[in-house]
């Protein structure tokens, strides 16, 4: 009896959502970022999310400043929330039949199988997704542009025509590097996730330390998400434990190897003499310098142009961190090829 009642209730909700409460008109500035389900709750006031989540948060905030009515559908919990003018709603509340002006699909093309009621539809890709996921079921015909992060990222989608692609590199909010912190030329900041950096970092840090004895290291990521995503993979957890030990051995003595909370990397980087070297990784060809620090994924003017907005006044926000010469960069390039 309970299941029958529950089924009737859900059916009534579905009918009401598509009749009484369906959004039938748009203002001309209504924009949705649809993020679907994630294994963890995230919004601007949570901790522990990764760079792609940070990208969505920053993009949404900046679009509001340009006059868009932005709603992010994601795993924000069970209740709607509002931050910086952005409305965050549980992903299951998204109705593709609602009238929208722009819908940005975060990372994955599968929602294109729905009939999304929007004037413009974009995919903001952060991954090396197999291009067949975009070309199957006529999905490609439903989008205006696929946003990619670099020329290398573009090369992974050779069968998608140029008129469907917009290459928009990640940007940095340089204001987060401003501060009165004393500059430390011996501080290295690792801003990447464990599975994209820790296989090489212990050996790299050991080599740097041999040549620069006073070097220190801080990490702006941590193992939390790695443990979450690999909880049922003993081989990955074993690798994590052995890598932790290797990193501890590489640190040695009084070298500080500390973890930074996500979003705090801006403070750490501002303590460096310069923004530091960037290291290109093979997922998208993007630069690791700002990721996970609270600096990366500030939307560039290219992204606003395709969506339909004006170019931001602070064009310097789209600048990437300059590389500096020296030991760290040369060792990074050597290890990248190994």
Between 235 and 260, where is the model more confident?
235
In a domain, 314, yes or no: no
At 294, is the pLDDT very low, low, confident or very high (cuts 50, 70, 90)?
very low
Examine the domain organization and report whether 160 and 230 are in the same domain. no
Beta strands 86-90 and 81-83, pairing class = antiparallel
Question: Among residues 167, 185, 217, which one ends one of the domains?
Answer: 167
Is pLDDT of 296 > 90?
Answer: no
Whether residue 180 is found in the same domain as residue 328 = yes
Last residue of a domain, one of 116, 134, 167: 167
Q: Among 142, 167, 192, where does a domain finish?
A: 167
Lowest-pLDDT range of 49-58, 85-94, 186-195, 230-239: 186-195
What values do phi and psi take at 91, rounded to 5? -55, -30
CATH number at residue 101: 3.40.50.2000
- Based on the domain organization, do 159 and 50 belong to the same domain? yes
Candidate ranges 15-19, 58-62, 84-88, 167-171; pick with highest mean pLDDT: 84-88
- 245 contacts: CB under 8 Å, gap ≥ 6: none
C-alpha 95/C-alpha 54 separation (Å) is 24
> From CA 14, how far away is CA 247, in angstroms rounded?
52
Q: How many CB atoms lie within 10 A of CB 133?
A: 13
Residues 216 and 213: their CA atoms lie apart, in Å, by 9
The answer, yes or no, to whether residue 146 has pLDDT greater than 90, is: yes
Domain assignment present for 305: no
Question: Residue 143 in contact with residue 122, Cβ under 8 Å?
Answer: yes
CA–CA separation, 135 and 144 (whole Å): 14
Contacting residues for 97 by C-beta, under 8 A, at least 6 apart: 18, 22, 115, 117
Share of the chain above pLDDT 90, in %: 46
Question: 301-307 contacts: CB < 8 A, separation 24 or more?
Answer: 302/166, 302/168, 303/59, 303/147, 303/166, 303/168, 304/62, 304/63, 304/66, 306/122, 306/144, 306/145, 306/147, 306/166, 306/168, 307/31, 307/63, 307/68, 307/102, 307/104, 307/120, 307/122
* Residue at token pair 């051995």: 249
Tell me whether residue 191 is in a domain.
yes
**pLDDT confidence of residue 301:** 46
Query: What is the mean predicted confidence (pLDDT) over 185-202?
Result: 86
Higher pLDDT, 269 or 58: 58
pLDDT at residue 45 in the model: 95
Whether the CB-CB separation of 148 and 157 falls below 8 Å is answered with yes
pLDDT band for position 59 (50/70/90)?
very high
Short-list 289, 286, 295, CA closest to 317: 295
Question: For the ranges 132-136, 209-213, 252-256, 322-326, which has the lowest average pLDDT?
Answer: 322-326
Report how far residue 333's alpha carbon sits from residue 338's, in angstroms, rounded to the nearest whole number. Answer: 9
Q: Which domain holds residue 203?
A: 174-295+321-336
Q: Do 150 and 198 belong together in one domain?
A: no
- The least confident of 145-159, 214-228, 238-252, 300-314 is 300-314
The pLDDT, as a whole number, for residue 169 is 87
pLDDT above 90: residue 280: no
pTM for the whole thing? 0.74
Same domain, 146 and 187: no
333: nearest Cα among 321, 323, 318: 323
Residues 96, 307: Cα–Cα separation, whole Å: 18
pLDDT in tens, 79-121: 999 999 999 999 999 999 999 999 999 999 999 999 999 999 9
Number of domains in the chain: 2
């Amino acid at each position: 009896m309970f299941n029958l009642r529950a089924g009737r209730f859900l059916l009534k909700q579905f009918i009401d959502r598509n009749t009484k409460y369906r959004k039938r008109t748009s203002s001309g500035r209504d924009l949705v970022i649809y993020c679907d389900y994630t294994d963890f709750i995230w919004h601007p006031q949570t901790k522990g999310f990764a760079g792609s989540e940070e990208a969505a948060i920053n993009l949404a905030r900046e679009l509001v400043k340009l006059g868009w009515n932005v709603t992010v559908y994601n795993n924000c919990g069970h209740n709607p929330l509002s931050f910086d003018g952005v409305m965050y709603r549980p992903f299951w509340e998204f109705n593709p039949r609602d009238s929208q002006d722009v819908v940005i699909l975060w990372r994955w093309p599968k929602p294109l199988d729905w009939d999304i009621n929007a004037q413009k539809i974009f995919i903001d890709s952060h991954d090396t997704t197999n291009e067949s996921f975009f070309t199957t079921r006529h999905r490609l015909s439903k989008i205006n542009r696929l946003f990619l992060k670099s020329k290398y990222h573009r090369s992974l989608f050779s069968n998608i025509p140029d008129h469907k692609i917009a290459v928009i590199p990640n940007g940095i909010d340089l204001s987060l590097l401003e501060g009165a912190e004393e500059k430390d030329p011996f501080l290295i900041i690792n801003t990447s996730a464990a599975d994209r950096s820790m296989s090489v970092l212990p050996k790299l840090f050991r080599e740097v330390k041999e040549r620069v004895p006073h070097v220190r290291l801080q990490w702006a990521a941590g193992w939390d998400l790695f443990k979450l995503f690999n909880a049922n993979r003993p081989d990955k957890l074993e690798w994590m434990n052995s890598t932790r030990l290797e990193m501890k051995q590489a640190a040695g003595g009084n070298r500080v190897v500390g973890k930074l909370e996500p979003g705090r990397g801006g403070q750490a980087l501002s303590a460096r003499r310069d923004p530091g070297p960037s290291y290109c990784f093979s997922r998208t060809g993007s630069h690791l310098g700002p990721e996970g620090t609270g600096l990366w994924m500030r939307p560039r003017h290219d992204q606003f142009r395709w969506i339909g907005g004006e170019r931001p006044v602070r064009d310097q926000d789209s600048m990437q961190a300059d590389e500096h010469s020296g030991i760290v960069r040369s060792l990074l390039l050597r290890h990248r090829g190994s």
